[in-house]
Structure 1
């Protein structure tokens, strides 16, 4: 898809990687958003060379060479991943009803912007739908005949949403307690090992052991029985899997640098129902569920044999 001009406002989240920032920016430049938001966290005081890299990344603003309203939120001090990203998205949705969010390591195809524009418009008032992703982690496996499918997880490597959704965001998940979630987690996940994994994540978030913002978004989607949209072809590649990454340091990760393609003519699904197997496939790989299951049942079998031998 050539010469497409994106209709939605775009939020570009940058930090300390001028090289990946430049690559993603060049894709944004191709679609020429009329409104571009730039948000950047401040450098960490204990990393002397980081301030220079942050300054280099922020210079990307000087390369905006099309007619565009530019708004910036450049932090002078480091707030960390959880607060810096979530507050930037809040800032964005305080000014926009809907829009597209890209981080500095999420390299989109041109179709990504067209896809987000169309999905934002089509499901603008459908409160069942809360999240739009440009990433397909199914090894390009096709699900039915449509151009996209519904599921329940929130993949944030290039995504879009509405103010109506983000207004519920709470990085502390203050409305939810561990006993409540523990009693309900099996209503969300059928697999006991997957349910336990997400319960451990919830505990870690409540105890502030994880400096992130996206698990909270995922929980809110689950707790509200929300639907996410993902394309049947991958439209965004995460190019940030490398040693200097905060959460994706392994360049050999199965989800690193996935190939992207163009989507073609949009075909809409006939049924608005979640493909639960899709999410399970992703989590089975990410959380090694098969290995955990084998280990669990192996221990149970050994225990039963030990009991019988008593």
Structure 2
């Protein structure tokens, strides 16, 4: 008998070349027993001789579903890369489902994550202000408000849930991007000049094709549609993939690596639907090293340099 919460929502499981973390995450999915499970996998890279075996080992998970479940797979034979493979997998999922849960092979969910997602998907199904449901919390014990979750302008994707109504607007190539418009619009969201500067550079390089990723495009979409995300006041997803094998999360000493999973308890909803700006600032201050940037900016030699430049404007 399964005493764990059983999710009502379909689940998309995105895997690649890490059979060990894939199995750990799958065990948590197994406990939640979704009735529909989608598994998407990119193909091995030609310059990685051992990757074919690793990818094949990870894909064996599809044969280990031992509960009543409709399993669908999208297994690529060739490597598309993070941007193409993950975004296409999510599109494949939302082409068949109106809403659902998305997990990658290094994002270990608590069982409460599935209950949280089910509740949020239902509550905000038709509320177009809310466009993203996060599972991870980067506040490291600090809570915002007395409810079980708060609202944010950010879109954490280490375990998340969402709706087709949002994903159908996803713009992988940022076709609506206009460089001259981005900074003024970002300044209406963030007051810190360095946060604005970093996001502006991210979107600039994303548009130029310098960053092989899919998730910043979702952030871009939500920023410029005045959208809100839901973030639990406890951490419900732990990224267990930090290390040299990771694509992006290589710093094993990051505060956000292997964060402990917590219990949600009874879900209490916030009274007001407004973003917790200070919570977002705390997250970005660490992620973008904002205090270090300000410290450098305020050094006397840099102040003098800016004053001198100002003489010739």
TM-score by length of 2: 0.96
Q: More displaced, 138-147 or 293-302?
A: 293-302
Residue of structure 2 equivalent to 1:75: 76
Residues 9 and 143 (structure 1), Cα distance of their counterparts in 2 relative to 1, 3 Å cut? same
Shift of 1:140: 1.9
For residue 188 of structure 2, give the secondary structure of its aligned residue in structure 1: helix
- CA offsets per residue over residues 174-195 of structure 1, 9 Å max, x none? 0121112133221222111100
Residue of structure 2 equivalent to 1:109: 110
Residue of structure 1 equivalent to 2:223: 222
- CA offsets per residue over residues 207-243 of structure 1, 9 Å max, x none? 1000000011001100000000010110000000011
Residue of structure 1 equivalent to 2:274: 273
Q: 1:160-309 residue pairs with structure 2 within 5 A?
A: 160-298=161-299, 299-301=302-304, 304=307
Alignment check: 8 A CA contact 1:136 1:232 kept:
yes
**Distance in 1 separating the partners of 2:201 and 2:123:** 36
Alignment check: 8 A CA contact 1:147 1:231 kept:
yes
Alignment check: 8 A CA contact 2:183 2:196 kept:
no
- CA offsets per residue over residues 133-192 of structure 1, 9 Å max, x none? 011100021111100000110000000000000011011110121112133221222111
Residue of structure 2 equivalent to 1:40: 41
For residue 260 of structure 2, give the secondary structure of its aligned residue in structure 1: coil
Residue of structure 2 equivalent to 1:21: 22
For residue 187 of structure 1, give the secondary structure of its aligned residue in structure 2: coil
**Distance in 2 separating the partners of 1:141 and 1:303:** 37
**Distance in 2 separating the partners of 1:307 and 1:205:** 31
**Distance in 1 separating the partners of 2:267 and 2:225:** 28
Alignment check: 8 A CA contact 1:135 1:235 kept:
yes
Shift of 1:3: 2.2
Residue of structure 2 equivalent to 1:55: 56
TM-score by length of 1: 0.97
**Distance in 1 separating the partners of 2:251 and 2:193:** 28
**Distance in 2 separating the partners of 1:181 and 1:283:** 18
Alignment check: 8 A CA contact 1:148 1:269 kept:
yes
**Distance in 2 separating the partners of 1:262 and 1:129:** 23
For residue 188 of structure 1, give the secondary structure of its aligned residue in structure 2: coil
Shift of 1:305: 9.1
What is the CA RMSD across the aligned residues, in angstroms? Answer: 1.6
**Distance in 2 separating the partners of 1:246 and 1:267:** 36
Alignment check: 8 A CA contact 1:2 1:110 kept:
no
Residue of structure 1 equivalent to 2:153: 152
For residue 181 of structure 2, give the secondary structure of its aligned residue in structure 1: helix
- CA offsets per residue over residues 89-126 of structure 1, 9 Å max, x none? 00000000000000000000000000000000000000
Structure 1 runs, 4 residues or longer, greater than 6 Å off: 305-308
**Distance in 1 separating the partners of 2:310 and 2:108:** 56
For residue 102 of structure 1, give the secondary structure of its aligned residue in structure 2: strand
Residue of structure 2 equivalent to 1:95: 96
